[in-house]
Structure 1
Amino acid sequence: MKDFRKKQHRPKKSSLVYGREAVVAALQEGAVLDRIYLDQQLTGRFVNDIKRLAANHSVPVNYVPKAKLDFFNVDGHEGIVAQKARIRYQDLQDIISLVTENGEVPLLLLLDGITDIRNIGGIARTAWCCGVHAIIIPDKGVGALNEDAILTSAGALEKIPVCRVNSLMKTVDELHLNGIKVFAAEMEASNHISEADFTIPSAIVMGSEEKGIYPALLKICDENISIPMQNHFESLNVSVATGMILYEAMKQRIKG
């Protein structure tokens, strides 16, 4: 069994909602929750009710062993613990509409499979500084935007809009409908970032260092781009790579 104490910091109790009635009430009252942790051994009507409520409020549910729930060190969790969101997620279409209404050219960033909150924090800092209009994350397979993530971002995650979506695949379709070109950062791509045109409405997809971008997602992107290297290396740190690409985008837009 994994020792969760070695893997992560314990969140403050004030950031948690725990116990069946408390979590159901929080969902029904519209509390903004980052995610729900549910004992993977639980079955029955309660589990179905929680899944339905969570889906209605776009809150991801993580099925975890009891040891994970015990790690939170709260009494009477009854197999369910929810973590309050420090940020309020925004609707992607609202962001796109606002940007275009303001006469600006959309620049969006999609994060696929990036779980290290230190990288997410660093990416958020750079994104804010380079004029990214929103960061888009999936509801699963990405690091929780909790207190630690906000701390590593130096508060940038509380400044830049964040959109949490059910599917990055569907999101790419939505971006296409809005006339936004989707670039995928891919190490083996023949087109270098300096050859891409970021002055047009653009979205950039960044994948994890270990797995890259999910193949099916990569396939529906419009153009693959890479960062040129003097000396070949297996991969760049994703936060550093994101910074290089966003700086190129900002440079092009300033010149334009």
Structure 2
Amino acid sequence: MRGFITPERLGRIRHVLSLRQKDVTLVMDNIWDPHNVSAILRSCDAFGIFGVHLYYTTEKWPDLGEKSSASAKKWVERTSHSDAGEMLDGFAARGMQVIRTGFSQTAKPLHAFDFTIPTAVILSNEHRGASPELTERVEQELYIPMQGMVQSLNVSVAAAVILYEMFSQRRRAGLLDSPSLSPEELARLELEWSDR
């Protein structure tokens, strides 16, 4: 049974849901560190990502606590996958471009991609890179241009930078001016979120 919810909280829930983007997402590819996973979810919530995809085949989904950034997990939907082909086919069926992060010779800078179209970005394990079965099927690759001596960012920081670029492009294109979710989805989620 639904408990009491203040008008202010209900208004905030409605406002946040009206800005959620359901046609852009991140894929967490065997990212094992709970601090990184929690920070990624927090950034997803902050930049209006409706849901993420969890591809865990060699690592275990980390146990996330309830405090700090881990609390963002209740505001970001999560879909688990163990079959790369099935996951990627699902993205293709939804008309999504799929991009992985990396540093190959064919990788393009982050700002070269159009994030106003449906997109899934694969973030991989910092030490091993993208899973081979994803590398085989995902040709598009992005990197974040940097000017320092360090070659890469922590995966959670990279996620935040990518999400901000997505958010900025979509805001400029006016995609945040109307809800991405249908009226039916908004009504259902309003009830669900009110109990969280």
Q: Is the 8 A contact 2:22 2:50 kept in 1?
A: no
Residue of structure 1 in register with 2:101 after alignment: 185
Query: Where do residues 4-153 of structure 1 align in structure 2 (5 Å cutoff)?
Result: 106-148=23-65, 150-153=66-69
Q: Look up the SS of the partner of 1:153 in the other structure.
A: helix
Structure 1 segments of 4 or more deviating over 4 A?
102-105
Q: Look up the SS of the partner of 2:120 in the other structure.
A: strand
Residue of structure 1 in register with 2:7 after alignment: none
Query: Where do residues 244-255 of structure 1 align in structure 2 (5 Å cutoff)?
Result: 244-255=161-172
Identity %: 26
Aligned length: 155
Which residue identity is paired with 1:178?
A: R
Residue of structure 2 in register with 1:157 after alignment: 73
Residue of structure 1 in register with 2:126 after alignment: 209
Residue of structure 1 in register with 2:116 after alignment: 199
Q: Look up the SS of the partner of 1:250 in the other structure.
A: helix
Q: Deviations over 1:120-163 (max 9, x none)?
A: 00000001111212111135434535342x43524110111001
| Alignment partners' CA distance in 2, 1:183 and 1:122 | 21
- Using the size of structure 1 for normalisation, the TM-score is 0.55
| Alignment partners' CA distance in 2, 1:141 and 1:225 | 23
> Given the superposition, is the C-alpha separation of residues 173 and 141 from structure 1 closer, same or farther in structure 2, using an over 3 Å criterion?
same
- The Cα shift of 1:104 comes to 5.7
Q: Is the 8 A contact 1:181 1:202 kept in 2?
A: yes
Q: Structure 1: which 5+ residue stretches go unaligned?
A: 1-98
- Using the size of structure 2 for normalisation, the TM-score is 0.71
> Given the superposition, is the C-alpha separation of residues 207 and 152 from structure 1 closer, same or farther in structure 2, using an over 3 Å criterion?
farther
Q: Which has the larger radius of gyration?
A: 1
| Alignment partners' CA distance in 1, 2:167 and 2:121 | 13
Q: Structure 2: which 5+ residue stretches go unaligned?
A: 1-16, 174-196
> Given the superposition, is the C-alpha separation of residues 197 and 246 from structure 1 closer, same or farther in structure 2, using an over 3 Å criterion?
same
Matched, 1:171 2:87: yes
Superposed CA RMSD in Å reads 2.3
Q: Look up the SS of the partner of 1:109 in the other structure.
A: strand
Q: Is the 8 A contact 1:125 1:153 kept in 2?
A: yes
- The Cα shift of 1:219 comes to 2.6
Residue of structure 1 in register with 2:176 after alignment: none
Q: Look up the SS of the partner of 1:210 in the other structure.
A: coil
Residue of structure 1 in register with 2:144 after alignment: 227
